[in-house]
Amino acid sequence: MTMTFELLVLRLVHILGGIFWVGSVLFTTVILVPALAASGANVGLVMSAVQNRRYLTFLPAVAVTTILSGLRLLWINSAGFSPGYFHSPQGLAFSLAGTAATIAFLSAMLIVRPSAARSAALGQTVGNAPDDQRSRLARELAALRRRHAMASAVTLTLLVMGAGGMAVARYLP
Ligand code: HEM
C-alpha cells in the first residue's frame, strides 16, 4: 500500500513536471522568442518581465524535480539499479531517455542560458561602443548567437527524444 502510494505520487510529480518542462521549453524556443523578434518587440524587455514572474527559477526547479523523481522511479523499477534491468529493452529505453533529458538540462544551464545572457549584455555594449571596437564586438556577438542557436537546437532535440523515449519505453517488444 505505501509502495503503491509512493509510486502514484512519484508518477504524478514526474509526469506533470516533465510535461511542464518540455512544453515550456518548446513554446519558448519555437514560438515565443521568434514571434517577439519578428514583431519588432524588445525581446530583452519582454524576457525580463517573464523573469520577473520567476520563470527562469521555476523551470529549472521543475526540471530537477522531474530528474530526481525519475531517478527514484528508475531505482524502484530496477530493484536498486541491478544490471539485468538495463539489458531489457524497457530498462534501456527508460535510462537512455532519462540520460538524454538530463544532458539537455545540463546543456541548457551551462551553455544556452549563459550564452543568451552574454548576448543580451553584449548587444547593449555594441550599440554604445567606440567605432574602433564596434566591429570586433559585433563579430563576438555573432559568434555567441551562433553558439546559442546551436546549443538551443541540440537541447530541444535531446528533450524531445527524452520525452519520446519515456512515452514508448514501457511498450517496447
Ligand atoms: C524530458 C523529461 C521527461 C519526461 C517528459 C518524462 C516523462 C515520463 C512519462 C510520461 C512517463 C510514464 C511512462 C509510462 O508509464 O509508460 C515516465 C516514466 C518514467 N520516467 Fe520519465 N520523463 C522525463 C525525464 C526522466 C528522467 C530524467 C528520468 C531518469 C533519470 C526518468 C525516468 C523515468 C522512469 C524510470 C519511468 C518509469 C516509471 C514507472 O515505471 O512508473 N524520466 N516519464
CA of 163 to the centre of ligand 1 (A): 8
For residue 60 the three cell numbers come to 529549472
Cell 555594449 belongs to: 125
Cell 524497457 belongs to: 90
Cα–Cα distance measured from residue 25 to residue 18, given in angstroms and rounded to the nearest whole number:
11
Cα–Cα distance measured from residue 173 to residue 169, given in angstroms and rounded to the nearest whole number:
9
CB of 69 closer than 6 A to ligand 1?
Answer: no
For the chain, the maximum distance between any two Cα atoms, rounded to a whole number of angstroms, is 72
CB of 64 closer than 6 A to ligand 1?
Answer: no
CA of 166 to the centre of ligand 1 (A): 5
Reported as a pLDDT band with limits 50, 70 and 90, residue 1 is low
CA of 70 to the centre of ligand 1 (A): 6
For residue 1 the three cell numbers come to 500500500
For residue 89 the three cell numbers come to 529493452
Atom of ligand 1 nearest to the CA of 162: 1
Q: What percent of the chain has pLDDT over 70?
A: 99
Task: Measure the CA angle with vertex 125, ends 122 and 126; round to 5°.
Answer: 85
CB of 73 closer than 6 A to ligand 1?
Answer: yes
For residue 10 the three cell numbers come to 512519484
How is 55-85 classified by DSSP, letter by letter? Answer: HHHHHHHHHHHHHHHHHHHHHHHTTTT-HHH
Atom of ligand 1 nearest to the CA of 104: 1
- Tell me what pLDDT residue 114 has: 95
| DSSP-derived secondary structure letter, 171 | G
Q: Which of 21, 73, 95, 172 to mutate to test the pocket of ligand 1 (most atoms within 8 A of CB)?
A: 73
Of the candidate ranges 63-72, 76-85, 101-110, 117-126, the one whose mean pLDDT is the lowest? 117-126
The closest residue, in CA terms, to atom 31 on ligand 1 is 70
Cα–Cα distance measured from residue 171 to residue 90, given in angstroms and rounded to the nearest whole number:
7
Reported as a pLDDT band with limits 50, 70 and 90, residue 68 is very high
Over residues 14-26, the mean pLDDT reads 98
Express each pLDDT in 97-113 by its tens digit: 999 999 999 999 999 99
- Tell me what pLDDT residue 41 has: 87
